[in-house]
Chain A
Amino acid sequence: MAPTIRALPLISKARNGVGAFILQCKRMELAYCDFGGSSNGMKRFIERDLPKFAAANPQIEFVVHPRPNHHPTIRGLYINGREKVVCVRNMHESEIIQKAQLLRDSSGAKIKKSNKKVTSLNESVRGVFSPYHGEQFKI
């Protein structure tokens, strides 16, 4: 008996947040320098604000390591394999925590401009216009 139907090998797409939400930032590496003055804010941040921030975001792995003779940086690593690095030289702890929050809230995707107001996997509610249906325009 000949087959009447074949299934195309399509797979489902994830919709992060619809069911479960997976935070895209999986790791943050904080580098500081013992000698450089630009790392002062970073060092204070690590001592004071980092434990609380880390506890509030248990999904993120935090790695703190010295990087001598360099400005302090925060490197965020994401699930899509990309990373974002922010140099926090000469910043106050309040500014650094903002940068950390920025990295945490990012998806890791390249910043892309969209001219569309709405982007969706779902088809439109009323469907695409057809001149052959509904009230047809008579010339």
Chain B
Amino acid sequence: MSLLTPHLRPALRQALAPFTPARYESTTRRMTKKLRLPPAASFRLDASSPAGTHIIYNPPPTAASVKQTPALFMAANDPRRALSLNTPSLPLAEGQELPPPVRKPYEKKYHLKPEDFAKIRELRKADPVTNTRKALAEQFGCSPFFIGMVAEATKEHKIEMHFKQKKMMKRWGRIRTKARAEKAKRKAGWGGADGL
């Protein structure tokens, strides 16, 4: 019994104590009562539910499986195309926007001509160190990936870059090497090889 905390009845003390959500209940009966979920919306009966026999559409809380083909992928004369229930869809409310994109979408520009391609190749061949894919992309207004498609670096440059990378990888310790190797393995499995 401390001087700071006045002697209070246990009930009052509990009522005045800060609220901490309980992770468990003291009896099984209380716990099961707490865990009981209300029935799903489609099963709840109220004044607006139909009076006679009716079909309840209750889609499961799962991501659509690959066996369900989206309507867009179906053949033009597929009779299932009209049925929206079969296809995976996002339940968008009226006026709701689509979810935010993961990567910033960009407009594909087709402004480069064959002369530009020749110039890109020339520059890349001449000095691959200064004229990196990124620099050329900025110069010509396209993506570094596209520069890579248009112009390949010289063989010597590739070898040089390869050895440079190997040199850096040699400095890695045991943990980093293992972590990188595991990550590469994980990434290789994303295409379907890992069975998920």
Contact = CB atoms under 8 A, between A and B. Distances in A.
Q: A and B touching (C-beta < 8 Å)?
A: yes
Contacts of A134: 59-62
Interface residues of A, number: 13
Given A8-B192, A8-B193, A127-B60, A135 B65 contact: no
**Interface residues of B, dominant DSSP:** loop
Contact of B40 (A128, A131, A135): A135
B107 to A, nearest CB: 25
A47 B61 CA distance: 63
B65 A127 contact: yes
Interface string B58-76: 0111110100000000000
Contact of B63 (A123, A133, A135): A133
Interface size for chain B: under 10, 10 to 19, 20 to 34, or 35 or more residues? 10 to 19
Interface string A110-133: 000000000000010011111111
Contacts of B63: 127, 130, 132-133
A78 B59 CA distance: 45
B3 interface: no
A56 to B, nearest CB: 43
**Interface residues of A, dominant DSSP:** loop
B83 interface: no
A130 B41 contact: no
29 contacts: A8-B192, A8-B193, A123-B65, A126-B60, A126-B62, A127-B60, A127-B62, A127-B63, A127-B65, A129-B60, A129-B61, A129-B62, A130-B61, A130-B62, A130-B63, A131-B61, A132-B63, A133-B60, A133-B61, A133-B62, A133-B63, A134-B59, A134-B60, A134-B61, A134-B62, A135-B40, A135-B41, A135-B61, A136-B61
Interface of B: 40-41, 59-63, 65, 192-193
